[in-house]
Structure 1
């Protein structure tokens, strides 16, 4: 397998192969990946720092996934389940 630092250097000059991208994705060298990502971000956006006040309207708490991600969801038909209308 190619060295991660060599792949990151190549990424600054030319597109990577699928295999090189997979090597980066599988890499545990998060420091080198983060430094490279920050360099690409600076090239694309510069150094201004901004923030976004996000509004996430939860129009329902009904979920069929059943995952353990949140304690927010309710099963369809539960007493405290809701779905907001367009007007609401």
Structure 2
């Protein structure tokens, strides 16, 4: 079985029913991975800051350092998000954020150490 070309993918995207696409994908999965084993992970993205100096053209998320809407997540909010994830059966979190010039390497060290000390959850 070969990969779908860009043209074929566009055709499927524009003209196929979502449920039909799902069935097609499941059939391919069954052909490639016999035995019926399917796995998944309950995961959550946690944005620890939206302050970023990079100003990437594709990003609608960032705020300037002086913006009143800029933030660095506080411990209470972080804990609440992790606890919600665990209650839903989550096993990992993805920490994601902007390039915030006020956060040094020790912020990240402390952030990760604090999470690992309090929660049985994988971080990536």
Higher helix share: 2
State the TM-score, normalizing by the size of structure 2.
0.38
Larger-gyration structure (1/2): 1
